[in-house]
Amino acid sequence: MDKVQLRQQLQGKLLKMTDDLCAQKSKKAFKNLISLPQFQQASVIMMYLTMPNEIDTSDAVLYAWQQKKTVVVPRISWQQRHMIPVEINSLEKGFSTEVAGLRNPIKGQPIPFEDIDLIVTPGLGFDKRGNRLGRGGAYYDKFFANKKLIACKCGFAFSEQVVESVPVQQHDVPVDILVTDEEIMDFGNLQGE
């Protein structure tokens, strides 16, 4: 199955999930995420702002603030086709709503790549080797390719988004860990095989 077909299949699965089911599964995944040593030890955590039919990060953002962590989210530069990590202090204000419900920070202090300890990463699908299927823009792959970035890359998804195999191209960058509502998978020992 190619990436286009797999994206369609996974989007179909996500659209069938009820809001209540998404909320229940998001809470379970949140508990798994905050149990990670990488989350607990991180000072600066980059998260994504949840889009419709995506696992919710708002509890994790609020928890990180309670733990006095710096929360960073991607600001998308559509013209330059890349992401800029910026600090946020609110989930309520300071965003524009753009393509497919994406909330983009209007402003925010850019954070150096090397200061980020953990990146909580969305995806349409992940496989059991850490390969990630995004939405097709390669924004995260370009972000992950930055040589200054040393952060742990953590995929965050519903268990329904874990598939046997994700088609991989040369520019695709796998995640180090995958957290779902059902499990935590650490791929550190698989990289480079």
Q: Which residue has the higher pLDDT, 41 or 193?
A: 41
pLDDT over threshold 60, residue 9: yes
Which pLDDT does position 23 carry in this prediction?
Answer: 95
Confidence of residue 123 (pLDDT cuts 50, 70, 90): very high
Q: What is the 3-state secondary structure (H, E, C) of 76-105?
A: EECCCCEEEEEECCCCCCCEEECHHHCEEE
Average confidence (pLDDT) over 110-126: 96
pLDDT digits (tens, 9 = 90+) for 134-157: 888 889 989 999 999 999 999 999
Which pLDDT does position 191 carry in this prediction?
Answer: 46
- Please calculate the CA angle 175-78-33 and round it to the nearest 5 degrees: 30
pLDDT digits (tens, 9 = 90+) for 52-88: 889 999 999 999 999 999 999 999 888 888 899 999 9
Which pLDDT does position 56 carry in this prediction?
Answer: 95
Q: Which domains does the chain have, with CATH numbers?
A: 3-183 (3.40.50.10420)
Confidence of residue 189 (pLDDT cuts 50, 70, 90): low
Amino acid at 103: R
First and final C-alpha spacing in the chain: 22
Q: Which residue has the higher pLDDT, 29 or 79?
A: 29
Which pLDDT does position 177 carry in this prediction?
Answer: 97
